[in-house]
Homo-oligomer: A and B are copies of this chain.
Amino acid sequence: MALSTKPLSGMRQRLPGEFRVEKYVTDTLSLCSVQAGFEEYDGPVVEPFALFAAKSGGELAGKQSYCFTDRGGREVILRPEMTPSLARMVAAQGELQLPVRWYSMPLCYRYERPQRGRVREFLQYNLDILGSESLAAELEVILVLQGIMNLFRAPASIYRIGWSSRRFMADALARCGVDQSTRAAVFSAIDKRDKMKGEVWTELLADACASSTIADKVASLVSAGSLSDPWLMDLMQGSSTFDEIVKFNGLLEDVGVTSAVFSPGVVRGLDYYTGIVFELVDTGGENNRSLCGGGRYDDLVGLFGNKKISGVGFGLGVLTLTLFLETYSLIPDSVKKAAPAEVYIAVLSPDEIASAGSLAIFFRRDGIRVMMDVSGKKLGKQYSEAERYGISSVVTVGPDEVETGLYRMKTLSDGVVFTGSPEELSRRLR
């Protein structure tokens, strides 16, 4: 029986044209990271299950995970996210001078039902600062995120960076009357707000709260539109957690990150966030799809028995971002249509293969991208091949050229022919 020509559902396969688009996106993400002094790292795809069971939250390490027992009897998982591995790497480096600024482009895995923008194997860009408790760290990672959107030329009208604080929300919820025993359920309900219809959500929230009075207050809190909302200011009087978010809001305003908007409904699903949390959402379409989520985590590095090291960072799905960019036509045509070479070396007959090879070596040493014919087809077909690839020039190698050392180079766009030595051709190509 013939094998299937399809990859497994939800798995990442990229033909060259698709790869170029993905690489344009990941290169841009890398460039923004590097411009802000971040250094790249990577960790294993295969990790101990226990690393994620501890802190990622029930579903990620549970029924949404790829976990199995390896040949040595180890319980392993294909990482569903990067942050626990990052925390481990930082914890292991006793000598590491803090803070560190690191980024990565890991493959991650989640066993979910595949749909548009949601797959099982995906690249997730990660950017983190560890070892700083200053709000400057939150500001810096959001500046990188803003820089990414600027570099992609995304207009302010199509996205928003919504932010809040877990610490603030815990405080605010307590002031609304939510007690310790129901807090997790209320957080979880708030996290689901954008994923369901209003009335369904109201019901979910009512179920999570101990009374309808409390549920009403929580609903008011979540829909508070600004930090100067009188009801909110009254609720948070004398609160240091409120002072912190007011201060952070001032920083964002002073730096001019107008796309960042205080959004008390933003709590993020991952269990380890403790302070400021934020997400990037697409606001141009019907759906407020989240492109990226992040925040501050205080207790992750401590899991490895070290002293506490606070971190702040975010993860961004490369595919989700790519679909967003494609929706708004923000992937340049030049990326999709890039030619794989500057010159095509056409070979008249098998007798000239070695000479063509020598010419290819010569041009490549000069930094020119050269596609040498390997098809053995007739000359006309070789020219068509070059044209199909968008390669602008073709040099023909036949017995006359080998004998004289002079080669004909044709520019396909205008048909102009130039004849010269390899040195002269190379100079013209560069």
Residues of A within 8 A of B (CB): 2-8, 11-16, 19-20, 23, 34-48, 50-51, 54, 63, 66, 68-72, 74, 76, 78, 85, 88-89, 91-93, 97-99, 101-102, 107, 109, 111, 120-121, 129, 131-137, 139-140, 143, 147, 250-251, 254-256, 303-305, 340-341, 344, 347, 350, 353-358, 360-361, 364, 367-376, 385, 388-389, 391
- Contact of A36 (CB < 8 Å), options: B43, B120, B370, B391: B370
Q: Name the B residues within 8 Å of A68 (CB-CB).
A: 68-69
- Cβ of B134 and Cβ of A12 under 8 Å apart? no
- Cβ of B374 and Cβ of A8 under 8 Å apart? no
- Cβ of A347 and Cβ of B136 under 8 Å apart? yes
**Given A102-B16, A140-B357, CB of A48 within 8 Å of CB of B8:** yes
Q: Name the B residues within 8 Å of A3 (CB-CB).
A: 48, 50-51, 54, 88, 303-305
The CA-CA distance from A14 to B106 in the complex, in Å, is 12
This chain's copy number in the assembly: 2
- Cβ of B11 and Cβ of A39 under 8 Å apart? no
**Given A5-B91, A8-B44, A41-B19, CB of A143 within 8 Å of CB of B361:** yes
Q: List 13 A-B contacts (CB under 8 A).
A: A2-B305, A3-B51, A7-B47, A8-B44, A8-B46, A11-B44, A13-B44, A16-B102, A63-B71, A72-B111, A131-B375, A136-B374, A137-B374
**Given A76-B8, A361-B147, A373-B136, CB of A41 within 8 Å of CB of B14:** yes
- Cβ of A385 and Cβ of B14 under 8 Å apart? no
The CA-CA distance from A106 to B172 in the complex, in Å, is 48
